[in-house]
Amino acid sequence: MSKKPMNTFTFLATCYPLGQMPKAPGTWGSLPGLALGSGIYYLARHSIGNIPFWFVVTSLLFVFSIFSYWVIKKTETLWDAHDDKSIVIDEVAGQAIPIAFFAPSWELWLVGFALFRLFDITKPLFIGWVDRGVYGPFGTLLDDLLAGIVVLGILILDFLTVNWIVGA
């Protein structure tokens, strides 16, 4: 097996050294998404002016997704590979989605991380279809973004259900 060339793009794409881990690089690579999501939450909470929270969060996630696409494209071109397991910036982007909309807590990190990894690994329904059927950097990124969106939906439903039941 030949060693993959490294440069600034591959360093970012692999969240070096997390994507280089011999076991479960996607799981290791999801960890920075917890910090990114929490950082986005705090930036949105403390944004200047009357910009709605959801708009700031969504905009920042979109910008990071575009950045991730660009980094993935450069890396896949250099390596002549699609969705290489050591490219984990897509996990960072996907993991940040459910975390960015809620106040950070260890419970949120634990549940959000576990659910994201479950959906990213098992790829149920349309997530699996995208993973198998959409090629190039967009395909590499999209299945992780969808997994993050599904987890966000689950967390929102859980939040609404718990608040409804306890009357908060």
Check pLDDT > 70 for residue 113: yes
CA pair distance 44, 136, nearest whole angstrom: 31
CA pair distance 156, 162, nearest whole angstrom: 10
Residue 72 contacts residue 87 (beta carbons within 8 Å): yes
**Lowest mean pLDDT across 1-5, 97-101, 155-159:** 1-5
* Measured CA angle at 166 (ends 165, 168), to 5 deg: 115
CA pair distance 70, 91, nearest whole angstrom: 15
Nearest to 29 by CA among 37, 21, 39, 38: 21
pLDDT tens-digit series, residues 58-91: 999 999 999 999 999 999 999 999 999 999 999 9
Confidence at residue 163, expressed as pLDDT on a 0 to 100 scale: 73
Check pLDDT > 60 for residue 50: yes
Residues 6 or more apart from 117 whose CB is under 8 A from it? 26, 27, 30
pLDDT tens-digit series, residues 12-49: 999 999 999 999 999 999 999 999 999 999 999 998 78
pLDDT tens-digit series, residues 140-151: 999 999 999 999
Q: In the structure encoding, which two tokens stand for residue 127, read together? A: 């997530």
Q: Where are the domains positioned within the chain?
A: 24-166
For residue 53, which amino acid is it?
Answer: F
